Amino acid sequence: MTPTPVLSQTSTGSANVVNKVVANGFWCRERPPLSLLWYSQCMDSPIVGFERLKLSSQPKEEPLLRENPSRFVVFPIEYPDIWQMYKRAEASFWTVEEVDLGRDLKDWNRLNSKEKHFISHVLAFFAASDGIVNENLAERFIREVQVTEARCFYGFQIAIENVHSEMYSLLINTYVTDRVEREFLFNAIETLPCVKKKAEWAMAWTSSASATFAERLVAFAAVEGIFFSGSFASIFWLKKRGLMPGLTFSNELISRDEGLHCDFACLLFRHIIN
């Protein structure tokens, strides 16, 4: 059989000859030209299936964000992998009262001025960052996501981020006795340029009206999985030296939590289909 060109309509309504032909009455697997705005349904099927090709410029609905009337009830579990991540978070809960800072102040006083400056600025970054993460969770993610299992995780994440924020504030309060310096560190978003730049980058994603949920999900995975990693490493450096066991223990707990939050973002991203 001689291959026959197929006529179609472009978005402007004029007839064009598709630069693909149908051989032996079957469609090829190749995607039609993008100018035709066709939804890709090119398949190995007879030419009679042509009418099933749909012209569509509308974005597809994201299942994670689709209105869910059952979101107020936990069971039945529809996303077991997301639920298991929530149960891992639940099993990892801790409070600041579990961290003993009794020996830390003695070790703090053994640090030289440059080391104190370095560690105090790391703590200032963390103290501000957990609040920014919670702002995004409360203002955007937990309102947008309609999957019950994910909402459970986000609710628990907000709680543990509050614990982190309390821990960092307590650490600064314990180590830094000068009131002016303490206020400087507590207001790091405004007073420290490096912290301010990171904070502005993160908050821009929270307030963005144009970024997709998937893009914002990746952005905050970067905050918790990349921004935090270097700062965690600096505190592990103190542990290697046998210093400040309270700080280093809290760092282990918080780095574990943040790693889980990053893993959860990656898990949700795998559920994104559009």
Token pair listed for 56: 């569509």
Up-side HSE of residue 193: CA atoms within 13 Å toward CB?
0
What is the full DSSP assignment across 73-110?
A: --PSPS-HHHHHHHHHHHHT---GGG---TTHHHHHTT
Task: Report angle CA 134, 135, 139 to the nearest 5 degrees.
Answer: 120
- How many whole angstroms separate alpha carbon 130 and alpha carbon 118? 19
Does the annotation mark 168 as catalytic? yes
- The torsion region of residue 139 among left (phi > 0), alpha (psi -120 to 50) and beta comes to alpha
- How many whole angstroms separate alpha carbon 199 and alpha carbon 114? 24
Active-site pick, 86, 154, 168, 175 = 168
Active-site annotation, residues: 168
